[in-house]
Amino acid sequence: MVNKINHIGIAVKSIEEALKFYSERLGLKSREVVEIPEQKVKVAALQIGESRIELLESTTPDSPIAKFLEKKGEGIHHLAFEVTDIEKRLKELKEKGIRLIDEKPRQGAHNTRIAFIHPKSTHGVLIELVEKET
């Protein structure tokens, strides 16, 4: 079902400030920063082997990332697992009684389709399923 960890999402107040640490101090290289208007977020991806760290900055005060930052502060927001056939995976999870945030995939960053599993079904961890578009 899960192929690998695709990325770890980290909520930050400022991508520019966070990149000073991850790029300048740790030496990780960032691809372009992309904005995903429908999710009200900007994303910077930092490649580490087969996985990435994604820095997530809110673009509006009412976005999920802004709410997360207000409630919990900067830090790990979610774990993302790479899957194939995301629609099939969502159907299987729903049939198993897993609570989903997204019953249908939506557009993600970097040519992906994504869907989230509710943390109440995952022992408190927000999990994102990611399928690379071909």
Domains, the chain, in order of start with CATH, read 4-132 (3.10.180.10)
Sheet with 112-117, side-by-side order of all strands: 30-36, 41-48, 51-58, 4-11, 75-82, 127-132, 112-117, 106-107
Amino acid in the structure at residue 66: A
Prediction pTM value: 0.91
- SS3 for 7-50, per residue? EEEEECCCHHHHHHHHHHHCCCCEEEEEEEHHHCEEEEEEEECC
pLDDT at 68: 97
Over its length of 134 residues, how does the chain's per-residue pLDDT go in tens digits? Answer: 799 999 999 999 999 999 999 999 999 988 789 999 999 999 999 999 889 999 999 999 999 999 999 999 999 999 999 999 999 999 999 999 999 999 999 998 888 999 999 999 999 999 999 999 87
pLDDT at 124: 94
pLDDT at 30: 87
